[in-house]
Homo-oligomer: A and B are copies of this chain.
Amino acid sequence: MGKEITNRSEDYSQWYLDIVKKAGLADNSAVRGCMVIKPYGYAIWENMKAELDRMFKESGHVNAYFPLFIPKSFLSREADHVEGFAKECAVVTHHRLMNNPDGAGVVVDPEAKLEEELIVRPTSETIIWNTYRDWIQSYRDLPLLINQWANVVRWEMRTRPFLRTAEFLWQEGHTAHATREEAVREAHLIHDIYATFAEDFIGMPVLKGRKSENERFAGADDTLTIEALMQDARALQAGTSHFLGQNFAKAFDVRYLGEDNQEDFVWATSWGVSTRLVGGLIMTHSDDDGLVLPPRLAPTQVIIVPIPKPAPEITEVAEKIMAACRGLGIRIDLDTDMKKRPGFKFAEYEMKGVPVRLGIGKRDLESNQVEVARRDTKEKTSVPLEGIAHYLKDLLDEIQDNLFQKAQDFRAEKTTYVDDFNTFEEVIREKGGFVYAHWDGTKETELEIKDRTKATLRLIPLEDDNETGKCVLTGQPSERRVVFAKAY
């Protein structure tokens, strides 16, 4: 079954599509650029949602829900915002169909034209800030720390399941604050939550930093980003947190009366991660035999396979193991299929990335042992039945750590410091990965580097960096190194 998917070295892009399909994560749909998220893929997203939602709530955020549709005129209120989204949005113009007077089927009823067209939300800043105007009068109404789990639509031309789809699922936080400092702090708080989630749950190491002005979110004063490295040495923007200044408050006239009785515009942030994270998860850990799942997000963490097939004495032991494991919070299941052979099942669970497989045969029972197989290293060990639940709990943690460590090693290997443009071009072309280089801080240079190498400026690191230098392209003075890469 491993042979059903393309090797990474042969065709990385096809390998990814093969995994999405063969592991049952997603399917194409009849609608251009929209995917169907299949139950197994959706279960991974549900696990991501549950953890993120917990982290948001623990940091004081609440959920709400705003309309899917945005009046067209709202988009134009913030100049940069409309520039960023107008070219790729789904526009609702009518509200009724009618029987086709000239034949079969239905057609749009021309009399049901909307007075003002509605945009299917590509992001919700405009409709939300239009609402916040009614919710915010004084400093007592602040801060508003609101998140929304929703679908959004951006009419992308080139789509790939999870990584870039016309419709995708995400969360979008939209907060309102009385002071600039508080809003900036919020943007950083979320940036930290995103990085923690990516590393501790997806096991996907990320660089933290801010976007250049050119790569900022449309309407933001500052965009913080986490960037991961995929196995083809291309970067993936995995989550962004924006300090929006007073831009949307001004566009929608949202003011508050301060404790000092002074009126001022409200300060804002917005932030989001999406089903793209599932794509990042797949590409960070998987191998030529299929999906590899980090235990903390795996729908099934341990699968028990009876050998050669289910039998009462095996089921009895399996039930005991499962009860003990579930008591420790382990997601464990028993394969009760009578027809498929063990080899077939092994390949199937390998393809689906289940972190640990337990094989139990009658001989194992006689020796009070089970065979434990790890998905990440493919190692098999015989393990005593006694204390197996605690053994598995530790093993799952070990696998989680190992996957993260492996991804970190890969990233370290694919990170290069470069000081001249010839080397820069060569590294981007041959080796890929993250390139730390000096940059003169201008958009012109950024765009020329992109034109010549296809590498984009992924981020400007947040940490202090005292190493000044000269721009890798222009030789102009640079205050710090920034990170370039080819990206998804």
Quick one: given A63-B39, A151-B151, A153-B68, are A91 and B89 in contact (CB under 8 Å)? no
A142 at the A/B interface (Cβ < 8 Å)?
no
Segment with Cβ contacts to B, from A72-80, A242-250, A370-378? A72-80
CA distance A32 to B170 in the complex (A): 24
CA distance A400 to B118 in the complex (A): 43
List 26 A–B pairs whose Cβ atoms lie within 8 Å, in order of A's numbering. Answer: A29-B66, A30-B71, A30-B74, A31-B67, A31-B71, A31-B127, A34-B69, A35-B67, A36-B64, A36-B67, A36-B131, A37-B64, A37-B65, A39-B146, A42-B63, A46-B63, A68-B151, A69-B90, A75-B106, A87-B96, A88-B96, A89-B95, A90-B95, A91-B95, A92-B120, A108-B117
Segment with Cβ contacts to B, from A97-105, A342-350, A429-437? A97-105
> What residues of chain B lie closer than 8 Å to A97, measured between beta carbons?
72, 75, 82, 86-87, 89, 91, 119
A43 at the A/B interface (Cβ < 8 Å)?
yes
A418 at the A/B interface (Cβ < 8 Å)?
no
> What residues of chain B lie closer than 8 Å to A167, measured between beta carbons?
67-69
**Is the CB–CB distance between B119 and A120 below 8 Å?**
no
In the complex formed, the residue of B with least CB distance to A40 is: B62
Give 1 or 0 for each of A23-51: 1 = CB within 8 Å of chain B CB. 00001011100111111001101100000
In the complex formed, the residue of B with least CB distance to A97 is: B86
> What residues of chain B lie closer than 8 Å to A66, measured between beta carbons?
29, 36-37
Closest Cβ–Cβ distance, residue A18 to chain B (whole Å)? 16
In the complex formed, the residue of B with least CB distance to A151 is: B68
**Is the CB–CB distance between A95 and B155 below 8 Å?**
yes
Tell me the A117-161 residues at the B interface (CB within 8 Å): 117-120, 127, 130-131, 134-135, 146, 150-151, 153, 155
Give 1 or 0 for each of A178-210: 1 = CB within 8 Å of chain B CB. 000000000000000000000000000000000
| Chain A interfacial positions (CB closer than 8 Å to B) | 27, 29-31, 34-39, 42-43, 45-46, 62-76, 82, 86-99, 104-106, 108, 117-120, 127, 130-131, 134-135, 146, 150-151, 153, 155, 167, 169
**Is the CB–CB distance between B95 and A88 below 8 Å?**
yes
> What residues of chain B lie closer than 8 Å to A73, measured between beta carbons?
105
User: Which of A45, A69, A89, A127 lies at the interface centre, i.e. has the most chain B CB atoms within 10 A of its CB?
Assistant: A69
Quick one: given A67-B31, A69-B31, A127-B31, are A93 and B94 in contact (CB under 8 Å)? yes
> What residues of chain B lie closer than 8 Å to A42, measured between beta carbons?
62-65
Closest Cβ–Cβ distance, residue A352 to chain B (whole Å)? 14
User: Which of A37, A75, A82, A97 lies at the interface centre, i.e. has the most chain B CB atoms within 10 A of its CB?
Assistant: A97
CA distance A117 to B151 in the complex (A): 20
CA distance A308 to B89 in the complex (A): 54
In the complex formed, the residue of B with least CB distance to A118 is: B31
CA distance A36 to B133 in the complex (A): 13
CA distance A388 to B91 in the complex (A): 57
**Is the CB–CB distance between A155 and B96 below 8 Å?**
yes
> What residues of chain B lie closer than 8 Å to A94, measured between beta carbons?
90-91, 93
Quick one: given A67-B31, A69-B167, are A106 and B91 in contact (CB under 8 Å)? no
> What residues of chain B lie closer than 8 Å to A74, measured between beta carbons?
30
Chain A to chain B: the 9 pairs with minimum beta-carbon distance, closest first: A34-B67, A86-B97, A39-B62, A37-B65, A91-B94, A95-B155, A76-B105, A93-B93, A90-B92
CA distance A263 to B130 in the complex (A): 56
CA distance A86 to B86 in the complex (A): 28
Closest Cβ–Cβ distance, residue A28 to chain B (whole Å)? 9
User: Which of A45, A76, A104, A150 lies at the interface centre, i.e. has the most chain B CB atoms within 10 A of its CB?
Assistant: A76
Contact pick for A91, options B76, B92, B130, B155, CB 8 Å: B92
> What residues of chain B lie closer than 8 Å to A46, measured between beta carbons?
63
Quick one: given A30-B127, A146-B39, are A86 and B68 in contact (CB under 8 Å)? no
**Is the CB–CB distance between B106 and A86 below 8 Å?**
yes
